[in-house]
């Protein structure tokens, strides 16, 4: 499963559960254009309950640790700018270890930056650093639903920052 496939699958599931969620996956540049074009700011822009959400998605094959350099400075700058404008900036790390073993971490950009500043290695252990940011699936019948409570709590907090 690629990062794009994982991203689309999760967002389509979230949209079924949250009809007020609008999202757009910014297309990847073709490989032959990547060396000539500017890198895009984030992977996904969304709006939930009137709050803009910028998301940078990363896909990992294990949960041990994520290299800090996988998140570029331009991506962090964009997510921080979205936060400063009253939205929510999230680093979403999907952990895909097979069809029945997958979850993700929806990490606010300020929490990521704090973890990077205090990191003593070149990578960050997701389970230890962000235990409250983990989003699991819950099975209901034949369908797998991604828990949406964390996403709602982030946009709710952004609305209170605005007022």
Tell me, what's the pLDDT at 11? 86
Mean residue pLDDT of the chain comes to: 82
Measured distance CA(136)–CA(103) in Å, rounded? 5
- Is the pTM higher than 0.85? no
Q: Which residues of 50-63 are buried (b: 16+ CB within 10 A; e: fewer)?
A: ebbbbbbbbbbeeb
CATH topology of domain 3-27+39-162: Trna Endonuclease; Chain: A, domain 1 (3.40.1350)
> Which two tokens mark 77?
């700058």
pLDDT, tens digit, 9 for 90 and up, residues 97-106? 766 667 888 8
Residues 6+ apart with CB under 8 A from 141: none
> Where exactly are the structural domains of the chain?
3-27+39-162
């Amino acid at each position: 499963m690629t990062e794009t496939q994982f991203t689309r699958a999760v967002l389509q599931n979230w949209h079924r559960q949250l009809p007020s969620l609008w999202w757009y996956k910014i297309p990847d540049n073709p490989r032959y254009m990547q060396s000539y074009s500017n890198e895009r700011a984030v992977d996904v822009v969304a709006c939930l309950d009137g709050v803009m959400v910028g998301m940078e998605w990363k896909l990992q094959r294990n949960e041990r640790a994520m290299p800090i350099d996988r998140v570029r400075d331009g991506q962090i700058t964009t997510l921080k700018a979205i936060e400063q404008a009253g939205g929510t900036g999230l680093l979403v790390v999907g952990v895909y270890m097979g069809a029945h073993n997958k979850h993700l971490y929806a990490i606010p950009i300020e929490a990521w930056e704090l973890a990077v500043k205090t990191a003593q290695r070149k990578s960050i252990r997701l389970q230890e650093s962000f235990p409250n940011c983990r989003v699991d699936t819950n099975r209901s019948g034949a369908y797998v639903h991604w828990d949406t409570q964390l996403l709602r709590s982030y946009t709710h907090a952004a609305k209170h920052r605005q007022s």
